[in-house]
Structure 1
Amino acid sequence: MNIREKQEKNEMEHLAQGACLSVNSKGRLCAGKVCSIRTAFQHDRDRILHSKAFRRLKYKTQVFLSPQGDHYRTRMTHTLEVAQVARTVARALELNEDLTEAIALAHDLGHTPFGHAGERVLHELVPGGFHHVRQSLRVVDVLENDGAGLNLTFEVRDGILHHSKGQGGSLSASITQRAQTLEGQIVRLADIIAYVSHDLDDAIRGGIINNKDVPKEIVAVVGARHSLRINHMVTDLIQQSVPAERLIQLSPDMDQAVCALRSWLFEHVYQAPCVQAEFDKAAAVLRQLFGHFMDNQTVFLACGGHQYPGDSLAVSVADFIAGMTDRFALSLHGQLFLPQPWRVM
């Protein structure tokens, strides 16, 4: 029995009813050599962690565009916080931590530069629309490894595709909107828990709001400090979830409070004039880049874009722009549209 087989046996003996066992994975898009050390989900996690798309998350906006301080979240630190929350819940419920972590690390790989402002721009410009959830799946299926993709398991891909809450008034999801695994359902709620907590924390740090501004009825449920908010939401999720009954959920009171906090953040942080003004500028940068590449395919290819067989130019340009970091987008825009110093030969 090799190391992987011992770990698979350990999963079968110790994980809870309802957990997704790596030995029962529905497999990959393309069959490949099985690792003798890592389970299928551990292998997926490592492929994601070593991907270029994951490294680029370091320089993609979470809420604040290119913040001057060192302590504001980026898309990467958001991803790591989601993974931490999700693994805590999965461990407490005796579900598969490796699968949970792999989904969490990959869930935002398709996010654009400049956060949701970039996503809105591409959604307007790309025929058929654009959503970071579908783009994250496209990254792992197609774009990484020069078109070969990461060839992840069905369960990780399913978790990526179903991680987003959307704009509804409740965190509850219909059966068709849920990930097929309990681990994927955990990541969906861990994502929300992480971002409402850390976006509020960053907004307070940035002076956009004061902790006392948060409505008292929300504070009474989620807590008055960052550490308390995380602890209350995670504890509630663990206590309310019943893996044997395939229930991963928050209590009604916590569900309502988290949704209310999310709506409050949209009004007072995400759409605050000081935040929105910079994102309007960033959106203009992406619109100009998109239009320029659509009109000049040669320039698009020369700048590093790539068009795979069967893809329209619009899809290929969207792939290129969505994969950019904030700083690369700004730098490339400057090179293409701003006067450059004369280089004396």
Structure 2
Amino acid sequence: MPHQQSFEPEPGDRWRAIYACRSSLSRGRLVDEPSSPTRSQFQRDRDRIIHSTAFRRLKHKTQVFVSHEGDHYRTRLTHTIEVAQIARALARALGLDEDLAEALALAHDLGHTPFGHTGEDALDACMKDFGGFDHNAQTLRIVTRLEHRYAGFDGLNLSWETLEGLVKHNGPLLGGDGKPTARYADTGIPAAILEYQAQQDLWLDSYASAEAQAAALADDIAYNAHDLDDGLRAGLFELTDLRKLPFLAELLDEIDRLHPGLAKPRATNELVRRVITHFVEDVIGESQARIAALQPRDADAVRRTGAPVIAFSGAITAADSEIKAFLYPNMYRHPRIAEIRRRAADVVRDLFSRFLAEPSAMPAEWGEGCEALDPQRQARRISDYIAGMTDWYALDEHRRLFDATPSLR
């Protein structure tokens, strides 16, 4: 991989580290466009993401709870906003490009289906014979093909750095031997990624930029904090249950010491903000130590390192695993949630089966010409349509097409 060229200073460079991405050195867009006189390349990416149709739909897409559960639980949109706030905080502290980190955070969940991971699992099963479904690959399809907002191109025509960060949200896709890494070892790299890779090389065998790594950790931090918050609010578990986890027990002891007898809602808020603070401060400290040891001279040096540069320490990695291990059975697989998940999966499967048998049942913009496509492309178009649905719209479509629709209450 070539080194980046020396750069001319740009606004904000006195705050930006030498290993940060720079808009002036962007590898550009697939379709050339005149530069903006008022915005950097990454600011432009962020703005295009915010104004996209897919971004607006996040408002009515489930995080863990379906929207019927109440107004205070997270949706994909509120989760995304929280991730963006944490990503900017990390980027600012580490001298990274805040606009790129924010753009990546805002776009990272665009490819999610209705009904959260339940919808994704169901759609992946439906697409088993047609290449499967992967929400990261779907995000790439949205920003490179499915958004139709501009006269000169499909998608949003985002910069190379933003696309790279979205595709490598979970690290490299290829190992040094050219084979898929563990995430895609069994299924292979999704076709959507390979198709785009043939047009513009996204360096699938390297880590992404420091900004992308920061956005990915911000996602983990936000997930842990708000799932604890939502689970406590929903009564799926209690604060006393969290004392089984050493990391959280220590925080709860601190809250009790400083605020004895605090009511549950305030104690919950105190716990959540401490979780976020400890995780964020840990990432900053650990990343600063790694950067000091590595001494990267440019953004590409971060990509070539062969290991994450922005990371949790060993202690917080253990705490992260501890929290996830608790949440899996006590929240994501809680009997109350499991029954809703089953019904939601039925909705997705029913819709896919109906559209596969009768593509004309989709709206004209999706159904027209679908029957003439080969089975692979036909199934992918149906998958694109279903993946783009909000929870509400998926239920409305099911009611339109079927005599009985499961209740998700």
TM-score strictly above 0.5: yes
The residue number in structure 2 matching 1:70 is 71
Normalising by structure 1, we get a TM-score of 0.89
1:94-137 deviation line (CA, Å, top 9, x unaligned): 11000000000000000000000000011111121111111011
Moved more, 183-192 or 308-317: 308-317
Match of 2:323 in 1: 261
Q: Which amino acid aligns with 2:275?
A: R
What pairs with 1:121-200 in structure 2 (closer than 5 Å)? 121-126=122-127, 127-145=130-148, 148-164=154-170, 179-200=207-228
Q: How far, CA to CA, are the matches of 1:189 and 1:177 in structure 2?
A: 20
Task: Choose 13-22 or 38-47, whichever is displaced more.
Answer: 13-22
Q: Which moved more, 1:48-57 or 1:211-220?
A: 211-220
1:216 alignment partner, one of 245, 248, 253: 245
The residue that corresponds to 1:276 in the other structure is: 338
The corresponding residue for 1:343 is: none
Query: Would the aligned equivalents of 1:241 and 1:249 in 2 still touch at CA under 8 Å?
Result: yes
Q: Give the TM-score, by structure 2 length.
A: 0.75
Which whole-Å CA distance do the structure 1 matches of 2:161 and 2:251 have between them? Answer: 31
Segments of 5+ residues of structure 2 without an aligned counterpart are 1-7, 172-180, 184-202, 256-270, 295-301, 303-308
Q: 1:212 to 1:177 in 2, by over 3 A?
A: farther
Residue 333 of structure 1 aligns to a residue in which SS? helix
CA distance in 1, matches of 2:205, 2:401: 42
Task: Measure the CA separation in 2 of the matches of 1:15 and 1:256.
Answer: 31
| Alignment-derived partner of residue 377 in structure 2 | 312
Distance 1:16 1:339 in 2: 58
**How well do the aligned residues superpose, as a CA RMSD in angstroms?**
2.5
Q: Percent identity between the aligned chains?
A: 43
| Matched residue count | 328
Instruction: Using the TM superposition, give the Cα deviation of residue 218 of structure 1 relative to its aligned residue in structure 2, in angstroms.
Output: 3.1
Query: What is the one-letter code of the residue matched to 2:353?
Result: G
Cα distance in 2 between the residues matched to 1:193 and 1:252? 15
Letter in 2 for 1:317: I
Give, in whole Å, the separation in 1 of the partners of 2:182 and 2:81.
23
Distance 1:303 1:222 in 2: 53
State the distance in 2 between where 1:34 and 1:24 align: 13
In 2: Cα distance, 1:338 partner to 1:79 partner: 35
Is contact 1:158-1:180 (8 Å) kept?
Answer: yes
Kindly state the Cα deviation for residue 338 of structure 1 after the two structures are TM-superposed.
2.3
Q: Does 1:337 align with 2:386?
A: no
User: What aligned pairs does 1:229-240 form with structure 2 within 5 A after superposition?
Assistant: 229-240=275-286
Deviation of residue 216 (structure 1)?
3.0
- 8 A contact 1:103–1:187 mirrored in 2: yes
Looking at structure 2, the residues matched to 100 and 206 of structure 1 have their Cα atoms a distance apart, in angstroms, of 32
CA shift for structure 1 position 164: 3.8
Aligned 1:93-112 pairs, distance under 5 A: 93-112=94-113
Q: Which amino acid aligns with 2:158?
A: L
Q: Which runs of 5+ in 1 are unaligned?
A: 1-6, 169-174, 341-345
Write the distance in 1 (CA, Å) between the matches of 2:16 and 2:355: 50
Whole-angstrom CA distance in 1 between matches of 2:225 and 2:56: 23
